[in-house]
Amino acid sequence: MKSTGIVRPVDELGRIVLPMELRKTFSIEKKDSLEIYVDNNSIILKKYQPSCIFCTSSDDISDFKGKNLCNKCVLDINRIK
């Protein structure tokens, strides 16, 4: 894991501010969601990319009853009917 040398305090509500340089580098915009992972003693933040529950593709994702489906899988499901 590469250190950035940046240190940020946690505020009284448990929040931290991601520096602008990191947000630009990882194309993180206002209102973007981040996934939180734990690996041993590390907390890892990753920009959330919704993916299809069947094939894990991130292309052409639609929400159906709270589940993410790609258009290809929707077409495949429609062929089964």
Architecture of domain 1-48: Ribbon (2.10)
pLDDT in tens, 19-47: 999 999 999 999 999 999 999 999 999 99
Delimiting residues of CATH 2.10.260.10 domain(s) in the chain: 1-48
CA dihedral 67, 45, 23, 30 (to 10 degrees): 40
Residue 49 has pLDDT above 90, yes or no: no
Residue 13: predicted pLDDT: 97
